[in-house]
Amino acid sequence: MQIGNESMDLRLTLIESAQCFQWQETPQGFIAVVQGKPVRLWKQGDAVFAQSDLRREQLRHYLDLERDYGRVAEQYAHIAPAKRAIEMYPALRVLNQDSWETLITFILSANNNVSRIRKLTDAISRGLGARFEMCGEEIWGLPTPEQLANCPESHLREMGVGYRAPYLIRTARMVADGFPLWELKNMSYDQAYEQLMRLPGVGDKVANCVLLFGCGHSSAFPVDVWVERLLKSWFDVTSRSRKAMMLAARDALGENAGLLQQFLFHAARTGDIEL
């Protein structure tokens, strides 16, 4: 089915921009398990097509196709590096992912590089998750909270996750025991942030990634090593800690701070904006 006519870049959005780690590119398109269901996305000209049990509106929301990014660019047009970063990637979108899938992949992301985050995401999915087939290829979904909570720590360590193993298991147990993960999108930013910070393996940076990519909180502003470098290079940063930078950036940039952050992050990481 056709889900959109927008000129969006699937490779940039799903793989290169490091906001999710489960997509793989095949000759037939991009495939992954999203919200527990297999999905294939591909383009024909400007049109985006999908093969999935997910409804058209769900996929449009996942890809953030309803948002006017031209308006976001205008919102930050008075900040030179911001305007430049957004205009540099007119086909990049900030995904609306599943809260649980975002939470688990970003616990894996702590002090880790992108290619290894992908391998660990794949490893725990193959080891614990549900298997599907999509155009002749096997793909696995991430483990559910119950599957992860019941996995022995030693088994998880054999998959290579290292010291993050107990974080995954304890967080999974809290979610399985009623942590309000799926209510975070309806809370205020401050309430949702406070809740997420209770979870083992979730600090300021991971919390903001979950809020931004997995809970629809577009003001969430994750500060990783690259965003820190860019902020120090291009702005008069007096904050020392990354959390202080996050607070200052959110305060200065307002409602769509996090969307801008994703463009800045990618520009810094690829070197498209000199630091």
- Binding part of the chain for DNA, among 34-42, 137-145, 159-167, 178-186 by CB under 7 A, reads 159-167
Write each residue from 93 to 122 as x if it is in contact with DNA (CB under 7 A), else as -, in one continuous string: ----------------xxxxxxxxx-x---
Per-residue CA distances from 176 to 156, 179, 182, 193, 236 (Å): 18, 7, 12, 19, 44
Which of 83, 205, 232, 243 does the annotation list as catalytic? 205
Q: Which of 100, 128, 222, 257 binds DNA (CB under 7 A)?
A: 222
Class of residue 236 by CB neighbours under 10 A (exposed 0-12, middle 13-18, buried 19+): exposed
- Binding part of the chain for DNA, among 45-53, 57-65, 72-80, 236-244 by CB under 7 A, reads 236-244
- Does residue 269 bind DNA (CB under 7 A)? yes
Find residue 219's DSSP bridge partners: none
205 is catalytic: yes
- Does residue 162 bind DNA (CB under 7 A)? yes
The span from the CA of 199 to the CA of 103, in Å, is 10
Three-class SS state of 92: coil
- Does residue 85 bind DNA (CB under 7 A)? no
State CA 16 to chain mean position distance: 12
Q: CA Rg, the chain, in Å? A: 18
H helix or E strand, kind and range, residue 25: strand 24-26
Q: Are residues 266 and 92 in contact, defined by beta-carbon separation less than 8 angstroms?
A: yes
Q: Which is nearer to DNA, 35 or 112 (CB)?
A: 112
Residue pointed to by tokens 């996750």: 161
End-to-end CA distance of the chain: 42
Write each residue from 177 to 216 as x if it is in contact with DNA (CB under 7 A), else as -, in one continuous string: ----------------------xxxxxxxxx-x-------
Q: Which is nearer to DNA, 41 or 103 (CB)?
A: 103
CB of 127 to DNA, least distance (A): 14
- Which token pair is 224? 């990783």
Query: How many residues lie near DNA (CB under 7 A)?
Result: 42
Give catalytic residues, as residue numbers: 205
Where along the sequence are the contacts to DNA (CB under 7 A)?
A: 17-19, 109-117, 119, 157, 160, 162-163, 167, 199-207, 209, 222-227, 240-241, 243-244, 261-262, 265, 269
